[in-house]
Amino acid sequence: MSDLHTVINPATAKPVIDVPLASLADADYAIERAHAAFPAWKALAPGERAALLRRFAAVVDAHIDELAELEVRNAGHTWGNARWEAGNVRDCLNYYAGAPERLFGRQIPVAGGVDVTFHEPLGVVGIIVPWNFPMPIAGWGFAPALAAGNTVVLKPAELTPLTAIRLGELALEAGLPADVLTVVPGKGSVVGARFVTHELVRKVCFTGSTEVGKGIMRGCADQVKRVTLELGGKSANIVFADADIAAAAASAPYAVFDNAGQDCCARSRILVERSAYDEFLSHLEPAVLGMRVLDPSDESSEMGPLISSQQQATVRGYLDEVDVAFAGTTPGGDGFWVPPSVVTVEDPAARIWREEVFGPVVAVMPFDDEADAVAKANDTEYGLSGSIYTNDLGRGLRVARAVDAGNLSVNSHSSVRYWTPFGGYKQSGLGRELGPDAPMAFTEEKNVFIAH
Ligand code: NAP
Ligand code: MG
């Protein structure tokens, strides 16, 4: 008898379904089967591998509402987000279906022969997914990894296994050979840790907390195992006085409270030029109070609950230390609710200004000039994303270049497009996902010299 995990609907705290958890032996078995499936998957003609990925995308597309409904119930995501997330898996598969026929090597001029390079797949890739965006983060890993000719074992977060399990079934339905993509639901300390220690896993892609990510990097060092890390963030939304202040304030809540703030790209620090500070706050308050925080089974909900009672307690712990300037509402009940909350901060050493809260909490601070804004934005161990609001194009570009983060937007809060690179500076991560180069991160570059 395997252990069971009871999936909980975070909006109601009611059980949804029991999911068996993989044991260490189950994880080993999945890895060995993935290893056995690798040579045939690698040897498949590029056009055939591409066609299978396009079929997989089409099958996902035919199940968008079913996948979205699972995520609404399992993770408390809004319908709008959940449909976007399922669509993102489809889009990643279609985009990287273009890669097998385009894994170009180079021909490099040499004396006495021909020199060519090849991008060879690594073998079995282990993907460890967190609970905040179960579908997209899975797809960002498996789509380019499979396209490059690797087989994949994927561990969803224990709290949110349902969409990953369904995606594994849909892959088989689309005709992917058995064991090419295997979903292994289980504990991080068992299945996730085994991806790190098992010698047949040649790369680990991890998304989650910086603390666990550091341990994974240390563990991978034993086998010089390839590793990609997508970790935490404490991103800044920098608003200059020359921007459209009302528009910047109206959009700011959605840049941090989306997914109830459980987003590594959340703009959880707002820096406002001092001369516009009061005006900005006067527009921010009605925008926050007007957010529709509802059970996400209601299609009009803009923000749902936190994922677990533990996450709720963590976030409340941060709020207990501060005076909340203003906060929105929640529907109450047994779900894991925290209202969208705004805190003004003067001391840059405050915990709420420095640590990733991973909940619907935003901290606001004034700045004096461009240099002060950049210094304050960069005064963090993280560097994932950020926004700059200004009507001065030169300043927008200057500040975007000066902020030490991987994903900046000017007059926008967008962070993620599957066709542009995504990843962090400093302790926000290592390596990049998405964009045109993602399949390369799942290959070794091999150089071959052939003498005339
Ligand atoms: P976490 O512990 O880092 O979990 C992320 C993933 O890693 C889960 O699949 C987890 O599995 C797995 N894992 C945990 N310990 C592992 C280990 N020793 N070896 C291999 N895999 C392991 O994150 P969390 O505890 O869910 O959340 C804690 C905090 O992390 C949040 O409050 C937030 O600040 C941050 N976080 C950031 C992101 C992000 O997108 N950057 C995502 C999630 C959380 P199990 O869940 O099954 O144990
Ligand atoms: Mg954890």
In angstroms, the CA 94 to CA 78 distance is 24
Q: Is 132 in the pocket of ligand 1 (CB under 6 A)?
A: yes
How is the chain split into domains, by residue range?
A: 4-231+428-451, 236-417
Which ligand 1 atom is the nearest neighbour of the CA of 314? 32
Answer CATH for 236-417 from 3.30.360.10, 3.40.309.10, 3.40.50.150, 3.90.1300.10: 3.40.309.10
In angstroms, the CA 392 to CA 394 distance is 6
* Structure-block tokens of residue 266: 């959340």
Q: How far is the CA of 371 from the centre of ligand 1 (A)?
A: 35
Portion of the chain with pLDDT greater than 70, in percent: 100
Cα–chain center distance at 195: 19
For the segment 238-253, the average pLDDT, to the nearest whole number, is: 98
Q: How far is the CA of 185 from the centre of ligand 2 (A)?
A: 15
Which ligand is closest in space to the CA of residue 154? 1
**Whose CA is closest to 306, among 266, 365, 351, 353?**
266
Answer CATH for 4-231+428-451 from 3.40.190.10, 3.30.160.270, 3.40.50.2030, 3.40.605.10: 3.40.605.10
* Structure-block tokens of residue 209: 């907390």
Q: How far is the CA of 408 from the centre of ligand 1 (A)?
A: 24
Q: What is the pLDDT of residue 214?
A: 98
Phi, psi of 5 (to 5 degrees): -115, 130
Q: What is the pLDDT of residue 17?
A: 98
CA nearest ligand 1 atom 19, residue: 193
User: Per residue in 330-370, pLDDT tens?
Assistant: 999 999 999 999 999 999 999 999 999 999 999 999 999 99
**Whose CA is closest to 403, among 378, 424, 422, 384?**
378
Does 2 score more than 80 pLDDT?
Answer: no
Q: Is 187 in the pocket of ligand 1 (CB under 6 A)?
A: yes
Q: How far is the CA of 218 from the centre of ligand 1 (A)?
A: 16
Q: What are the residues whose beta carbons fall under 8 Å from the beta carbon of 155, sequence distance 6 or more?
A: 126, 127, 128, 129, 183, 184, 185, 186, 188, 191, 192, 195
Does 1 score more than 80 pLDDT?
Answer: no
Where does the pLDDT of residue 83 fall: very low under 50, low under 70, confident under 90, or very high at 90 and above? very high
Q: Which is catalytic among the residues 92, 205, 264, 265?
A: 264
Q: Which is catalytic among the residues 69, 158, 230, 433?
A: 230
Q: Is 231 in the pocket of ligand 1 (CB under 6 A)?
A: yes
User: Per residue in 369-417, pLDDT tens?
Assistant: 999 999 999 999 999 999 999 999 999 999 999 999 999 999 999 889 9
Q: Is 189 in the pocket of ligand 1 (CB under 6 A)?
A: yes
Q: How far is the CA of 271 from the centre of ligand 1 (A)?
A: 28
* Residue 51: C-alpha distances to residues 46, 57, 96, 97, 103 (Å): 9, 10, 11, 7, 15
What residues does 450 pair with on adjacent strands? 114
Portion of the chain with pLDDT greater than 90, in percent: 99
CA nearest ligand 1 atom 29, residue: 209
Dihedral sign of CA atoms 257, 262, 263, 264 in order:
positive
Q: How far is the CA of 206 from the centre of ligand 2 (A)?
A: 12
Average pLDDT, rounded, for the chain: 98
Q: What is the pLDDT of residue 93?
A: 99
Q: Are 237 and 270 a contacting pair, CB within 8 Å?
A: yes
Which ligand is closest in space to the CA of residue 189? 1
Q: What is the pLDDT of residue 13?
A: 98
For the segment 88-115, the average pLDDT, to the nearest whole number, is: 98
259 CB-contact burial (10 Å; exposed 0-12 / middle 13-18 / buried 19+): buried
Phi-psi domain of 179 (left: phi exceeds 0; alpha: psi -120 through 50; beta: other): left
Q: Is 344 in the pocket of ligand 1 (CB under 6 A)?
A: no
Q: Is 197 in the pocket of ligand 1 (CB under 6 A)?
A: no
* Structure-block tokens of residue 70: 């699972």
Which ligand 1 atom is the nearest neighbour of the CA of 129? 9
Q: Is 179 in the pocket of ligand 1 (CB under 6 A)?
A: no
User: Per residue in 152-165, pLDDT tens?
Assistant: 999 999 999 999 99
User: Per residue in 161-184, pLDDT tens?
Assistant: 999 999 999 999 999 999 999 999
Phi-psi domain of 300 (left: phi exceeds 0; alpha: psi -120 through 50; beta: other): alpha
Which ligand 1 atom is the nearest neighbour of the CA of 213? 3
What single string gives the DSSP state of each residue in 149-194? Answer: T-EEEEE--TT--HHHHHHHHHHHHTTPPTTSEEE----IIIIIHH
Q: Give catalytic status of residue 264 as yes or no.
A: yes
